[in-house]
């Protein structure tokens, strides 16, 4: 699975002029299931993100995790993370999981984060979403498991 995580002071997702998910301080997680991904990979990604030490401690060092800070996660499905731009100017997305598997792993990943005691909110799978965020740092990290 692939994820782009951004440390935020707040973030929200709007679909058709209605907010469907929002958080205060924590992480905005853009996530993409790839062909061949499984629940085991979703579990590993959730565990990694919940323990990733990217929040500052009292000394100003990135030494605290989402678990340590009590922050939340806003999870947004984003198949475009599977973009292959190696040929031509139009990205290809053939390495992304099928929509059915993508939806299953997106829901499973969100639940796995919640199982790690991370409060979660989410976007709407397959919808045209407006994502708003206030990046903190900025801190943006790419994960590919």
List, for residues 70-113, the tens digit of each pLDDT value: 999 999 999 999 999 999 999 999 999 999 999 999 999 999 99
137 located within any domain: no
Instruction: Give the CA distances from residue 12 to residues 8, 28, 85, 127, in Å, rounded to whole numbers and listed in that order.
Output: 10, 9, 29, 14
Contact 67, 115 (CB under 8 A): no
138 domain residue, yes or no:
no
CATH code, domain carrying 92: 3.50.80.10
Token pair belonging to 3: 């994820």
Q: Is residue 140 a part of any domain in this protein? A: no
Q: Which domain holds residue 59?
A: 2-131
Is position 115 within any domain? yes
102's enclosing H/E stretch is helix 99-115
Q: Is 9 a catalytic site residue?
A: no
Residue 83, pLDDT score: 96
Q: Is 80 a catalytic residue?
A: yes
- Report the pLDDT value the prediction gives residue 78, as an integer from 0 to 100: 95
Quote the pTM value: 0.96
What local confidence, expressed as pLDDT, does residue 67 receive?
Answer: 95
What is the number of structural domains in the chain? Answer: 1
Which residue among the candidates 79, 109, 110, 120 is catalytic per the annotation?
79
Per-residue pLDDT of 24-81, as tens digits, reads: 999 999 999 999 999 999 999 999 999 999 999 999 999 999 999 999 999 999 999 9
DSSP state of 133: E
**b vs e for 65-85, b when ≥16 Cβ sit within 10 Å of the residue's Cβ?**
bbbebebbbbbbbbbebbeee
pLDDT of residue 140: 97
At residue 41, the pLDDT reads: 97
Does residue 73 lie within any of the structural domains? Answer: yes
* pLDDT in the model for residue 68: 96
Active site residue 79: yes
Model pLDDT, residue 34: 97
**pLDDT on residue 18:** 97
Point out the catalytic residue in the list 6, 14, 78, 110. Answer: 78
Does residue 139 lie within any of the structural domains?
Answer: no
**What would the two tokens of residue 133 be?**
């965020």
Q: What pLDDT is attached to residue 33?
A: 98
Query: Do residues 145 and 5 touch, judged by C-beta distance below 8 A?
Result: no
Contact 76, 122 (CB under 8 A): yes
Candidates 122, 30, 135; CA nearest to 83 is 30
The pLDDT value given to residue 89: 94
């Amino acid at each position: 699975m692939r994820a782009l995580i951004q440390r935020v002071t707040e973030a929200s997702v709007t679909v058709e002029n209605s907010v469907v998910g929002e958080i205060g301080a924590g992480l905005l997680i853009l996530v993409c299931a790839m062909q061949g991904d499984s629940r085991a990979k979703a579990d590993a990604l959730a565990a990694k993100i919940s323990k990733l030490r990217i929040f500052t401690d009292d000394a100003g060092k990135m030494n605290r995790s989402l678990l340590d800070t009590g922050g939340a996660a806003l999870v947004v499905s984003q198949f475009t993370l599977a973009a292959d731009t190696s040929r031509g100017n139009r990205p290809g997305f053939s390495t992304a999981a099928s929509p059915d598997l993508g939806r299953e792993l997106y829901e499973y990943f969100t639940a796995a984060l919640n199982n790690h005691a991370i409060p979660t909110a989410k976007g709407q799978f397959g919808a045209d979403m407006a994502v708003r965020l206030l990046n903190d740092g900025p801190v943006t990290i790419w994960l590919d498991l």
